[in-house]
Amino acid sequence: MSKIFLVLEREFLTRVRKKSFIIMTILASLLFAGLMVVPMIIATMDDTKERSIAVIDDSGLFKNKITETEYLKFAYLDGVTVPDIQSTFSESGYYAVLYIGSMVASTPDAVILYSDKQPSMDITSHISSSIKNEIETQKLKTYDIENLDDILKSIKTNVRVRTIKWSKDGEEKESSSELAFGLAYILSFLVYMLIFMFGSLVMRGVIEEKTSRVVEVIVSSVKPFQLMMGKILGIAAVSLLQIVVWLILTFGLVSAAGSIFLDSPNKAVAQQEAVTNLMEQTGVAQMATEVSAQPSFANEMMTALSNINFVLIIGGFIFFFIGGYLLYAAMFAAVGSAVDSEADTQQLILPVTIPLILAIVVMVSGLKSPDGSLTFWFSIIPFTSPIIMITRLPYGVPAWELALSAALLVISFIAITWLAAKIYRVGILLYGKKHTWKEMWKWIKYKN
């Protein structure tokens, strides 16, 4: 055990003293902070450039009907065709030319926006929404309904389904499907990235020592198993340190940037808009609409957030990340010991990475159906449970399923480490030949 600790200490100190480690840790923190701060800063910056769009309406239905904004104006032209204005467009001062065909009510693609630059999605969406609403209003008016405008306003209703969780003792707690979705998605993907990133780091470290022949000196003092475990645990310690530093630096940078770049009156609005945009981009459209439309929704979300069992989720995240890392790091170390360079790992690494890729695919199903049979079995199988169980945790997992998954992960780690050590002890001293899984299986059967 003392020799494993010595290898761990050597691995840890060697890596944290490297300039590349320090630089990458700082750069990653800057990147994470930037991803959080930049959207908030952008949200406070209004596009104040006024744009005028010429409208050629062959249908005759939309004159002065397209909604204008403070910085987006529409000029309706009569007796002009698109070719007429195209020849003088550069001198006209118009941002774009909007052509509305005569059959717009029955032909969806009868609306065309011409410009010498690519119009933004905000502009095209605004035009599309305005024309769509006007067409619907015109069609409804053909039914000759009195007070149509008042009726349309009165029938518009927002409905939102609140979710209340019952505990075993009958206690009611506010919950949120959207928050559970966001936590599950972010944490699952984070586990996938960290396992893959730090597992690959173990493999590269093994290859480097083997290539430099340093390992020949080391194995004269320690057993191959002790060397492999020391390296795996050393890189695990490095990875945990790096994650802690990332969290501290990112939090500090975000707090500092928020106080410098965001004025107090606009800060809450900017943060809300940034969160709304992020939700829309990640597919939580309903939640995004509710956040922007209903101020009270934010208070309910905070209540739901306070009811989340963060002790269980954070504890589960740490356990399954470490368990998954140790499981895959042993396999990555075995692959690294069987090759002479990173280029030779391609044919051997695929069987190791397939379960991780499969877990990400199943994660999508798990977000929609966390209690489905597919999600359940993949959260129990040790090769996919580090990701899929994290997907299920925010939604609630029975204690026996959590215990079974954790126990199988620990047992599998011990078994895989034992097999990987048998491959490692043989492969680490073999040079000059590309090995296959068939040969590596033979190494497992070798006796001491």
% of the chain exceeding 90 in pLDDT: 14
Question: What tens digit of pLDDT does each residue of 222-244 get?
Answer: 787 788 888 888 888 888 888 88
Non-local (6+) Cβ contacts of 355 within 8 A are: 383, 384
pLDDT band at 91 (very low <50, low <70, confident <90, very high): confident
Report if residue 322 sits inside a domain. Answer: yes
Instruction: Tell me the Ramachandran region of residue 371: left when phi exceeds 0, alpha when psi lies from -120 to 50, beta otherwise.
Output: alpha
Let me know whether 279 and 396 are in one domain.
Answer: yes
Report if residue 161 sits inside a domain. Answer: no
pLDDT value for 286:
46
Let me know whether 315 and 386 are in one domain.
Answer: yes
pLDDT band at 298 (very low <50, low <70, confident <90, very high): low
Let me know whether 66 and 213 are in one domain.
Answer: no
pLDDT band at 354 (very low <50, low <70, confident <90, very high): very high
Sign, CA torsion 218/223/224/230: negative
* Cα–Cα dist 270/254, whole Å: 14
Report if residue 313 sits inside a domain. Answer: yes
Amino acid letter, residue 309: N
Report if residue 311 sits inside a domain. Answer: yes
Report if residue 165 sits inside a domain. Answer: no
Let me know whether 346 and 416 are in one domain.
Answer: yes
Let me know whether 129 and 202 are in one domain.
Answer: no
Q: What rounded mean pLDDT belongs to the chain?
A: 80
Report if residue 170 sits inside a domain. Answer: no
* Cα–Cα dist 245/71, whole Å: 44
Where in the sequence is the domain holding 124, given as residue range(s)? 51-154
Let me know whether 28 and 72 are in one domain.
Answer: no
Number of domains in the chain: 2
Let me know whether 11 and 70 are in one domain.
Answer: no
Let me know whether 96 and 24 are in one domain.
Answer: no
Which tokens sit at 188? Answer: 């699952």
pLDDT band at 47 (very low <50, low <70, confident <90, very high): low
Let me know whether 180 and 305 are in one domain.
Answer: yes
* Cα–Cα dist 137/127, whole Å: 15
With a cut of 80, say whether residue 173 has pLDDT above it: no
**DSSP assignment of 243-309:** HHHHHHHHHHHHHHHHHHHS-HHHHHHHHHHHHHHHHHHTT-HHHHHHHHH-HHHHHHHHHHHHTS-
Let me know whether 93 and 221 are in one domain.
Answer: no
% of the chain exceeding 70 in pLDDT: 80
pLDDT value for 283:
45
Amino acid letter, residue 395: Y
Non-local (6+) Cβ contacts of 396 within 8 A are: 165
Report if residue 167 sits inside a domain. Answer: no
- Pick 324 or 305 by higher pLDDT: 324
Residue where a domain stops, chosen among 154, 187, 208: 154
Q: Taking Cα atoms as reference points, which of 142, 141, 114 lies closest to residue 127?
A: 114
To the nearest 10 degrees (0 to 180), the angle between helices 310-337 and 177-211 is 30
Q: What is the DSSP letter of 45?
A: -
Let me know whether 102 and 226 are in one domain.
Answer: no
Non-local (6+) Cβ contacts of 161 within 8 A are: none
Question: What tens digit of pLDDT does each residue of 273-283 get?
Answer: 555 554 544 44
CA angle 37, 42, 44 (to 5 degrees): 105
Calculate mean pLDDT across residues 7-15. 86
Question: What tens digit of pLDDT does each residue of 246-275 get?
Answer: 888 888 887 787 677 655 444 555 455 555
Report if residue 92 sits inside a domain. Answer: yes
Lowest pLDDT segment from 30-34, 171-175, 393-397:
171-175
Let me know whether 141 and 203 are in one domain.
Answer: no
* Cα–Cα dist 448/445, whole Å: 10
